């Protein structure tokens, strides 16, 4: 199956999940998770009408930007970002979805100030409370949102989460529901640099559940590009 056929199928599944939840499918963006896929595959996904690309690794982002791989679609950063690499990401992407610590938040704010720009970000929430995973504890989100004017070079657009890989349909619903409740709590906290309308959650295995719980952006890799081959050495 081609990338564009896969995307048509996913669009149909998004529409079905939205209809089942009484939602408008236009309110759900499809972000193609492009890690380990080359510029040509990314171009095919963009041509097939995905809403944005999400890249995980700084090296891959830099390489694909230089190849104009994302041309025609916004590009987001969705992987763990080390503070010493913020220069390579801030101002180069439309949205940094994976801001997972206060230290990183401050580093991105400082780099945006240096560049004289305002960077859009999402706060990553460690909703499943996994020790090995980054992200803010859920209870930190509301206070952080209320004091977000401290980060005058950033604009907070919403929340993202990466719950555990689900084995069975329905596994992650409780996490998705908690994320939705959290996003509702902060949606009315609008200020000069807080404008929350993105809830990024749901991947290949569980995006229908995420949509049922209120996701506005699903990040899909495998179902678009096929399984990633981790044995292959990638050129980037």
Return residues touching ligand PLP (CB under 6 A).
33, 35, 56, 78-79, 162, 203-205, 219-223
Least Å distance between CB 94 and ligand PLP? Answer: 16
Locate 89 and state its tokens: 């990401």
Nearer to ligand PLP, 186 or 203 (CB): 203
Euclidean distance between CA atoms 125 and 133, whole angstroms: 10
Q: Residue 149 Cβ, how far from ligand PLP at the closest point, in Å?
A: 28
- CB count within 10 Å of CB 149 equals 10
Q: What is the full DSSP assignment across 112-159?
A: HHHHT--EEEEEEE-TT--TTS-SB-HHHHHHHHHTGGG-TTEEEEEE
In the block, tokens 């529901």 appear at 177
Name the helix (H) or strand (E) containing 54. strand 52-55
Taking the least distance from each CB to ligand PLP, the nearer of 186 and 210 is 210
- The least CB distance from residue 40 to ligand PLP, in Å, is 18
The smaller minimum CB distance to ligand PLP, of residues 153 and 208, is found at 208
Query: How near is the Cβ of 31 to ligand PLP at its closest, in Å?
Result: 8
Residue with smaller CB distance to ligand PLP, 33 or 196: 33
């Amino acid at each position: 199956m081609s990338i564009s056929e896969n995307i048509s199928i996913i669009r149909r599944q998004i529409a079905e999940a939205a209809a089942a939840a009484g939602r408008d499918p236009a309110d759900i963006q499809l972000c193609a998770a492009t890690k380990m896929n080359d510029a040509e595959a990314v171009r095919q996904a963009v041509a097939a009408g995905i809403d944005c690309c999400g890249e995980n690794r700084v090296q891959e982002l830099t390489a694909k930007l230089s190849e104009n791989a994302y041309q025609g679609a916004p590009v987001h950063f969705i992987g763990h970002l080390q503070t010493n690499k913020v220069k390579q990401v801030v101002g180069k992407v439309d949205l940094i979805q994976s801001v997972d610590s206060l230290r990183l938040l401050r580093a991105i704010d400082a780099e945006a100030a240096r560049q004289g720009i305002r960077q859009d970000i999402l706060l990553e929430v460690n909703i499943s409370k996994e020790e090995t995973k980054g992200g803010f504890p859920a209870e930190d989100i509301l206070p952080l949102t209320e004091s977000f004017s401290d980060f005058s070079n950033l604009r907070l657009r919403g929340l993202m989460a990466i719950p555990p890989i689900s084995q069975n349909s329905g596994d992650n619903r409780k996490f998705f529901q908690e994320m939705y409740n959290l996003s509702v709590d902060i949606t009315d906290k609008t200020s000069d640099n807080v404008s929350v309308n993105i809830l990024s959650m749901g991947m290949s295995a569980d995006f229908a559940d995420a949509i049922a719980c209120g996701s506005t952006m699903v990040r899909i890799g495998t179902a678009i590009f096929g399984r990633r081959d981790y044995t292959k050495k990638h050129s980037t």
